[in-house]
Structure 1
Amino acid sequence: MTNVERKVGVFFLLGLAFLLFLTILVGKIKPFRKGYYYHITFDYVAGLRVGDEVRLAGVKVGEVTDVKFSGNKIVVTVWVKRGTPIKKDSVFTIANVSIMGGKLVSISMGSPQAPFLKPGSVVKGKNPPRVEEIVDRATELGEEILAAVKKVDKLISGMSTWLEENKENLTSSFRKISEVGDKFSALLTSLKELTEGVKKG
């Protein structure tokens, strides 16, 4: 082997090492971490990015390592720590980190009797709601609330009108009730006096 061939070989190996270092740096490969990869398909990922957290029942267990198109789907690859109990019936969804923003992949615990999901599996995720769907639903709820408020307002207005129109009748009725009460009280007094008179007689 000549000196030129040796130099070419050394530069080639250095180039491979540099590429490997860059690949590790951007997080595509995690050779020194023990864990598993799963691939989740979505129709829409709502801004999910590489590096976002993966949580199982709210506990951080990994991160998103890749987001790419595959046909008319989006495939999200996640890495999770070894020993993470992901079941076959676990549900993969995209959730908000907080009201301030940010996304994460949320995984449900699954049922106790379900078998564990095999590492490297491709699973179908539950699509997050689109912004326009949330806005449409909020608009519908707003219209329903407004309609309910209008009904209550109409009912109160109707009651006020009825009370005003029947004010005299109501006053007269209450007066009669009061008079009947007075007469009933007087009757009780008379009965009491009569009873006492009979006892004395």
Structure 2
Amino acid sequence: MILDLPAAPVNCDANSQSEWRHAVRRALLGWRAGLDAATHHHLSGKIRDHFTRFLADHPKATVGFYWPIQNEIDVRPVIEAHIASGGGAALPVVPGKDQPMVFHAWTPDTEMVPGFARIPEPTGTELVAVDILLAPLVGFDGQGYRLGYGGGFFDRTLAACEPKPLVIGIGFEATRLKDILPHQYDVPVDVLITDQGMTKIA
């Protein structure tokens, strides 16, 4: 799958860089939204399989994952199996705009309420530290830099985490870019998992 994306700016000043990232983000989200159900299911299945194999080496880890929105890969089946085999899981709660996310324990029985941007968040469970943090990828490059939704939540959260969790970027291989032109405050992921497999970032 080849995507028709805007060309990177020749003059890579901050404004040109931001405008390009905004245009690429819009194009990638449009592509993902337009994926037919069969293709989405097939590619997502491959990604879940790779993620399952990854978690086999981390059976007791507490995994901070995401509630799928905007046609993201749904990793909940893998997370539920991880919990059933003795692992832990948590979902992010956003305390407010421009604040880092915190993580609350989650199981399939956890009560959920609409949170920031109406994304479901757990309620009534304890605050927990996560060993592994999943970062959904709108786009990404081979150096592990991710293009997210533009809110900066993951980068603020990682900057606030101590100790820092192992960060796993999850996305479709078709959204790989040569270079996302990262900002100076962007934090690369440690591992990339796509439908083509798993890559550890050196």
TM range (shorter): under 0.3
Please tell me whether Structure 1 or Structure 2 has the larger radius of gyration of its CA atoms: 1
More helix by share: 1
What is the TM-score with the length of structure 1 in the denominator? 0.19
What is the TM-score with the length of structure 2 in the denominator? 0.19
